Amino acid sequence: MFLTMLRAKLHRATVTQCDLHYEGSISIDKDLLEASGILVNERVDIWNITNGARLSTYAIEAPRGSKTFGVNGAAARHFQLGDRIIIATFAQIEEEKARQHAPTVVMLDENNDIVPHVA
C-alpha cells in the first residue's frame, strides 16, 4: 500500500506579486525551490493563511535571490500582496518507508528569508 505523505513545505511565505493575466502557476525564488526540494512544474498546494483560500497549481522558477512568491492566473483572485501562505507538495510512499519519512520544511519570515526550524 502507498500513502500520500507531505514531501516538502515552504511555511509562512509572503506573497510578493499577483498577476491575474499570467498563464497560471506560482513563481518561487530559485533559492527557495532548491532549499525545499520543490521542482519546477511540480504540483503544489497553496494555502492562504490570511484568508483561508486553498488551491492547487504548479511551481515555476523566479529569479534566484528575489524572495519572490508570485501567484499567477486565476489563482491571483484569491491572494493579495502581503498575504501569508503555505506551499506544500506530497508524494506516494510505500507504507513501511512512510513510517520513517521526514518531509523537508522551510520556515520563512515576513521577508521570505529562511529562519531556523526545529521539528
* Alpha-helical segments (H) within 44-107: 95-98
Residues annotated as catalytic (active site), given as ranges: 25, 58
Give dist(CA 48, CA 110) in Å, integer. 14
Q: Which three cell numbers stand for residue 84?
A: 501569508
Mean pLDDT of the chain: 96
pLDDT, tens digit (0-9, with 9 covering 90-100), for 34-69: 999 999 999 999 999 999 999 999 999 999 999 999
At 119 the pLDDT is 62
Cell 521539528 sits at which residue? 119
DSSP state of 78: G
At 23 the pLDDT is 80
pLDDT, tens digit (0-9, with 9 covering 90-100), for 6-43: 999 999 999 999 999 988 799 999 999 999 999 999 99
